[in-house]
């Protein structure tokens, strides 16, 4: 049976995925200074359309968890799925890497490892498999790390990704963090090559829309389509057809583009400028991880 999955981008790493009467919400955050415009936020009117609402919080970093989400349960049937290391008193089902949890006949969840705090989530929604990486990434920080530290970061990342190989994934949300410099997309590239999701949507780009767009242009391949959602409230509709085909429909995009976060290397959203990442860069011939010899 044909299925229509609506995906909405909110801010930073925050997305929702809606199918029928079920709404999944991942790492919702309105911004350090409330950058997400009120008309684009999750409202009571939106929540009221669904009989089942599942909110995922991958870890406790403020840019992945907005306290507002815990107010929703006062009026709506919300289930919270949170990482095992959330602060004591946090409401929700706690999950550690390797855990599985059945929310309902429509929603099944598995937790995988992260290379930072918390976990990543693989969610099956009526047969559609959605992966949210949280802060799973190749955090090499090469401009301030030693070669050995970079190698160890790569090994940690590959070890975390290994259990995901062979897992069918229809949609993946994955970080492309420009703070890492020229190799900002190394983790996402490795994830695409190793896991091969059908669609990857970049996130965690700190309002640098041009970074997400440039990554999209370079990263798409035969096995994986890559699509950047950079405007607050931007939506796409995924049409899963009976014959196995996946069609992506771009719904009308809001006018407001996600603005650079204060202090996050601000640049105009319509300008691609990677010059600062390339100057004096011994690694600028590749955007893939570097393996150092013992």
pLDDT in tens, 84-130: 999 988 899 999 999 999 999 999 999 999 999 999 999 999 999 99
Which SS3 state, helix, strand or coil, does residue 280 take?
Answer: coil
Looking only at the bridges linking them, the beta strands covering 15-19 and 22-26 are: antiparallel
Is 292 among the domain residues?
no
- Pairwise CA distance, residues 252 & 250, whole Å: 7
Give the CATH number, domain containing residue 182: 3.60.15.10
Is 143 among the domain residues?
yes
Is 230 among the domain residues?
yes
Which SS3 state, helix, strand or coil, does residue 195 take?
Answer: helix
Predicted TM-score (pTM) of the model is 0.87
Q: Which residue has the higher pLDDT, 126 or 293?
A: 126
DSSP structure class, residue 197: -
Q: What is the count of structural domains for the chain?
A: 1
Is 285 among the domain residues?
no
Query: Largest alpha-carbon pair distance within the chain?
Result: 57
92 Cβ contact list (under 8 Å, min separation 6): 55, 57, 79, 80, 81, 82, 86
56: containing domain: 3-278
Looking only at the bridges linking them, the beta strands covering 246-250 and 235-240 are: antiparallel
Is 174 among the domain residues?
yes
Is 286 among the domain residues?
no
Is 247 among the domain residues?
yes
Is 144 among the domain residues?
yes
Q: pLDDT tens digits, residue range 30-63?
A: 999 999 999 999 999 999 999 999 999 999 999 8
Nearest C-alpha neighbor of 236 from the set 201, 196, 197: 201
**Is 1 a residue whose pLDDT tops 90?**
no
Among the residue ranges 4-13, 81-90, 192-201, the one predicted with the least confidence is 81-90
């Amino acid at each position: 049976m044909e299925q229509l999955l609506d995906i909405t981008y909110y801010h930073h790493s925050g997305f929702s995925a809606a199918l029928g009467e079920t709404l999944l919400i991942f790492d919702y955050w309105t911004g350090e200074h409330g950058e997400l415009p009120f008309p684009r936020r999750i409202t009571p009117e939106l929540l009221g359309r669904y009989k089942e609402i599942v909110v995922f919080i991958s870890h406790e970093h403020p840019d992945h968890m907005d306290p507002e989400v815990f107010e929703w349960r006062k009026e709506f049937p919300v289930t919270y799925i949170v990482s095992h290391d959330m602060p004591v008193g946090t409401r929700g089902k706690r999950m550690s890497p390797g855990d599985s949890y059945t929310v309902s006949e429509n929603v099944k969840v598995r937790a995988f490892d992260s290379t930072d705090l918390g976990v990543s989530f693989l969610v099956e929604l009526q047969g559609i498999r959605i992966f949210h990486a949280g802060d799973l990434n190749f955090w090499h920080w090469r401009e301030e790390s030693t070669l050995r530290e970079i190698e160890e970061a790569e090994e940690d990342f590959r070890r975390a990704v290994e259990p995901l190989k062979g897992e069918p994934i229809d949609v993946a949300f994955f970080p492309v963090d420009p703070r890492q410099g020229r190799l900002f997309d190394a983790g996402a590239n490795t994830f695409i090559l190793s896991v091969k999701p059908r669609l990857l949507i970049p996130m965690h780009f700190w309002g640098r829309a041009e970074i997400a767009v440039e990554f999209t242009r370079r990263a798409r391949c035969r096995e994986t389509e890559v699509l950047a959602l950079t405007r607050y409230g931007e939506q796409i509709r995924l049409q899963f057809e009976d014959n196995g085909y996946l069609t992506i429909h771009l719904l009308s995009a809001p006018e407001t583009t996600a603005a650079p976060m204060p202090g996050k290397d601000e640049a105009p959203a319509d300008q691609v400028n990677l010059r600062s990442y390339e100057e004096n860069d011994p690694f600028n011939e590749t955007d893939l991880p570097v393996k150092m010899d013992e």
